[in-house]
Amino acid sequence: MGTALIYDEEMTKYKLLWVDPACKIEVPERLTVSHEALVATGLADRCVSIPVREATEADILLVHSEEYLEGVKKTPYMTLEDLQEFTLQYGDVYFHPNIYHCAKLAIGASLQLVDAVMTGKVRNGMALVRPPGHHSMRSAASGFCVFNNVAIAAQYAKRQYGVKRVLIVDWDIHHGQGVQYCFEDDPSVLYFSWHRYEHQKFWPQLRESDFDSVGKEKGAGFNINVPWNKVKMQNSDYLSIFFHVLLPVAYEFSPDLVLVCAGFDSAIGDPEGEMCATPDIFAHLTHLLMNLAGGKVCAVLEGGYNLTSLPQSVCQTVQTLLGDPAPRPANLESPCKSALESLQCVRSAHRQYWSCLKHAADLPTSDISTKRIKLEEEGEKTGEGEEDKGTDEKVWAQPPKRVAPSIRTAVVLPDGVACPDQCERFSSPGDPDPLVVSKLRENYLKDGDDGNALTTLYSLTALADKMDRNEICSGLVLVRDVSMAMMCVVQHAATALSNRVLVVCVGDGKVRSDCSEDGKTLVVQFSSKESDDQRSKYYIPVCLQKGCSDVPGLLHSISGLLLPLGYEYDPGLVLLVQMPDSGICDSVWQQLIGLLQGLARGHTLVLMREDERTRVGPTASSLLGNAAPSLGQLHAPLPEDVKAVESLRHRLKSDWKLLQTTAPETG
Ligand code: Q9C
Ligand code: ZN
């Protein structure tokens, strides 16, 4: 199943016709450079190209009022003066004789995308559109937006396909107040937005963009605002919001469809956002959403005004939708203090609505509300447009080319187990290295083991080598003794591999402790047994009451613990080990594989016991990059498990900065 790309040059055919400093950044080239980059990189060719259509009036009226539609409808016939006057009723937007036509195409493109995804024609996709949509309201244009493309798409999906729950992720750097207003009291649409806020000094300067606007009536809890109160937020700030807010809540919500307000003014170099996240972060943001809703992700372009970072970010997003492994999330720093304050505020504001946040900390002591009071005292002295503090040109490295190995998934299976579709049976090439063989025999084989066991272990190390050299992306090996095979890879990694290895152990069983002292391996083990707590930074036992059979508990620890650790550790290889009788169900196992593939450029090596033959199919499917099946709405994790995860986080947060969920106390 493919990725749709929806684009029409016609949407470049309107522009600002008079002088307006607020609007001069919204130019047709935004679309042309984005599309040209997709063509130049060969990404456009790999997508399923789907034509746009014009939205019908009925489509528009799903969100907008008749009066407003009638007004916009007249704009193609207006004189320049009339257009300027019409524009004056709204904020930071302009009209043009062709914008109504383009606005209808922008909606139509979004709906074509929803159609293609919902009918199964494609798995996911992106619509490159102008004008953007997320600021426009029922009866008003705003912030370059005429009609609310994504809000209409959400209503349309509910109407047309009976979709029960839609998640809208708005990673544009502005608050999509239009989307918020549209779904404020609607529990079937969960709206998440982060946005530059600066204690209400940043456009659109709304009180209701703050973290305490959580939705109304039945929709309480279904509007999540993350205000950024400082500029220059980085990759780690964005990721920690995903790990500690969006992902746990999204999994609990369990959407049937994910819509992304994909604005790229949140990337480095953007004159509006003034943030420092690099374009490759969008590969990860996209990847982290791709196992929700069975992979049904529709990204619709919103903002993005730096003509260098915009096309880079668009390419990262589309390449990830296509299933290419994400680049390594290198050099993540600690989230900044201001980001942690925002994180803490959001988690605290939402803990009464989401069981995954039930045990979140209270508001920070340096209460943000005191800052708001200060702002009110200052009156109208807002900072907008005063001085040019953000004009220093940013430079950043172009994201490296993402070369996917020619072999996606290799398998080593016992005779008689069929090779799953699209996988390759791996056999180590050439004669075994005698040195390696004797070491294997000496260290890992028991007396009763036959030649088969040796061949399997040898193949396993050879496969790890090939993955280390990026010749194979992922692998699955069935072995007789998983603990032994795991030790074998760990030892091999320490001596022969150039990369750090993240070992994820699912289920009970002893993990030899000497495997994690030098930082070359980080071991995270999920089990039901209390461990003899070694207090090492590199061995992290996660004890869950019901072990891995408890879906909410496991998921909670994956998003809040495993992913932040993994991203900060930044391994070159992930070794995922399923211990015997782990109790983990297929769908969670597949979610785990899917999420872990955001690390190590997708280099995931799975070890399972020989008798887990029924798991081979689902495991291979996930390693091949197929979306994991949805888990359904989640119940609350056990309080003991949430507490266990909290206390682990507490113990580890000084070593692993991405585990922080609260701002440092400042007295
Ligand atoms: N310094 C979108 O990104 N304010 N809209 C412009 C210029 C309006 C942004 C002020 C920004 C609107 C879709
Ligand atoms: Zn924006």
E strand or H helix at 102? helix 99-118
**Co-location of 153 and 300 in the same domain:** yes
Q: Do 256 and 215 belong to one domain?
A: yes
Tell me how far the alpha carbon of residue 206 lies from the centroid of ligand 2, in angstroms.
15
HSE toward the beta carbon, residue 61, CA cutoff 13 A: 7
Q: Which residue out of 144, 196, 389 has the highest number of ligand 1 atoms within 8 Å of its CB and is therefore the one to mutate?
A: 144
The 3 state secondary structure assigned to 332-372 is CCCCCHHHHHHHHHHHHHHCCCCHHHCCCCCCCCCCHHHHH
Q: How far apart are CA 52 and CA 126, in angstroms?
A: 12
Q: How far is the CA of 21 from the centre of ligand 1 (A)?
A: 11
Question: What is the chain's length?
Answer: 667
Given this model, what pLDDT does residue 667 score? 46
Q: Decide if 525 contacts 611 (C-beta within 8 A).
A: no
CA distances from 368 to 157, 159, 211, 497 (A): 38, 40, 10, 48
- Kindly state whether residue 651 falls inside one of the protein's structural domains: no
Residue whose CA is closest, atom 8 of ligand 1?
Answer: 143
Mutate to test the pocket of ligand 1, among 31, 92, 310 (most ligand atoms within 8 A of CB): 92
CA of 273 to the centre of ligand 1 (A): 9
Order the strands of the 573-578 sheet from edge to edge.
424-425, 407-412, 472-479, 604-609, 573-578, 501-506, 521-527, 539-543
Domain assignment present for residue 167? The answer is yes
- Atom of ligand 1 at shortest range from CA of 143: 12
Indicate which ligand has the atom closest to the C-alpha of 145: 1
Distance (angstroms) between ligand 2 centre and the Cα of 265 equals 5
Closest C-alpha among 321, 289, 2 to residue 168? 289
Please indicate, yes or no, if residue 566 is contained in any of the structural domains. Answer: yes
For the chain, how far is it from start to end, CA to CA, in angstroms? Answer: 54
Closest C-alpha residue for ligand 1 atom 5 = 143
Paired tokens of 210:
């703050």
Domain of residue 589, CATH code = 3.40.800.20
Query: Would you call 97 helix, strand, or coil by DSSP?
Result: coil
User: Which residue's C-alpha comes closest to atom 1 of ligand 1?
Assistant: 22
Contact in structure between 285 and 173 (CB atoms under 8 Å)? no
* Per-residue H/E/C for 232-271: CCCHHHHHHHHHHHHHHHHHHHCCCEEEEEECCCCCCCCC
In terms of domains, do 215 and 343 share one? yes
Co-location of 438 and 350 in the same domain: no
Contact 21, 143 (CB under 8 A): no
> Is residue 279 domain-shared with residue 219, that is, in the same domain?
yes
One domain for residues 170 and 95: yes
Q: How many domains does the chain have?
A: 2
Say whether both 174 and 305 belong to one domain. yes
Q: Which atom of ligand 1 is nearest to the CA of 134?
A: 13
Q: Take atom 12 of ligand 1 and give the residue whose Cα is closest.
A: 143
Instruction: Please answer whether residues 272 and 173 qualify as being in contact, where contact means their C-beta atoms are separated by less than 8 angstroms.
Output: yes
Does residue 320 lie within any of the structural domains? yes
User: Mean pLDDT by 10-residue block, N- to C-terminus, for the chain (667 residues)?
Assistant: 97 98 98 98 98 98 98 98 97 98 99 98 98 98 98 98 98 98 98 98 98 98 98 98 98 98 98 98 98 98 98 98 94 94 98 91 70 49 46 84 93 93 88 82 78 87 91 96 91 81 93 71 91 79 90 93 97 95 93 97 96 95 96 89 89 95 81
Give the domain range for residue 281: 2-325+335-377
For residues 504 and 577, the answer to whether their CB atoms sit within 8 Å is yes
Cβ neighbourhood burial of 517 (10 Å; 0-12, 13-18, 19+): middle
Residues 372 and 424 in one domain: no
Residue 284 counted as domain residue: yes
Are residue 345 and residue 490 in the same domain, yes or no? no
Distances in Å between the alpha carbon of 412 and those of 196, 200, 585, 614?
49, 57, 22, 15
Closest residue by Cα to atom 13, ligand 1, is 303
Q: What is the DSSP string of 412-470?
A: E--TTSPPPTT-EE----SSPPHHHHHHHHHHH--TT--HHHHHHHHHHHHHHHHHHTT
Q: CA 399, CA 281: separation in Å to the nearest integer?
A: 10
Catalytic residue check, 135:
yes
CA-CA distances (angstroms) from residue 605 to 474, 541, 558? 6, 20, 18
Which residue in 64, 135, 175, 244 is the catalytic one?
Answer: 135
Q: How far apart are CA 661 and CA 356, in angstroms?
A: 13
Measure Cα distances from 234 to 66, 277, 339, 426 in Å.
42, 4, 9, 40
Q: How far is the CA of 247 from the centre of ligand 2 (A)?
A: 22
Q: Which atom of ligand 1 is nearest to the CA of 303?
A: 3
Pocket of ligand 1 (CB under 6 A): 22, 92, 132, 135, 143-145, 172, 174, 203, 263, 265, 272, 302-303
As given in the structure block, the two tokens for residue 259 are: 């819509």
On whether both 295 and 151 belong to a single domain, the answer is: yes
**Residue 636 maps to a domain:** no
ipTM above 0.95, yes or no: yes
Does any domain span residue 311?
Answer: yes
Atom index in ligand 1 nearest the CA of residue 305 equals 3
For ligand 1, atom 10, which residue shows the shortest CA distance?
22
Q: List, in sequence order, every residue forming a beta bridge with 605; answer none if it has no partner.
A: 475, 575
* Predicted pLDDT at 372: 57
Q: What is the pTM of this model?
A: 0.96
Sheet containing strand 189-196, strands side by side: 48-50, 2-6, 122-127, 297-301, 257-262, 166-170, 189-196, 223-228
- Ligand 1 pocket: which of 177, 203, 265 to mutate (most atoms within 8 A of CB): 203
Instruction: For residue 144, report the distance from its CA to the centre of ligand 1, in Å.
Output: 7
Whether 582 is covered by a domain: the verdict is yes
Residue 299, amino acid: A
**Which DSSP state fits 650?**
H
Q: Tell me the C-alpha distance between 641 and 644, whole Å.
A: 5
Decide: helix, strand or coil at residue 175. coil
Distance from the alpha carbon of residue 237 to the mean position of ligand 2, in angstroms: 18
What are the φ/ψ torsions at residue 238 (nearest 5 degrees)? -65, -45
| The pLDDT of residue 430 | 75
Query: Which of 614, 501, 506, 492 is CA-nearest to residue 554?
Result: 506
Same domain assignment for residues 466 and 534: yes
Long-range contacts of 385-389 (CB under 8 A, 24+ apart): 385/21
Same domain membership, residue 569 and residue 486: yes
* Nearest ligand (C-alpha, residue 129): 1
Element housing 224 (H / E): strand 223-228
Which residue owns the Cα nearest ligand 1 atom 7? 22
Half-sphere exposure of 483 (CA within 13 A, CB side): 11
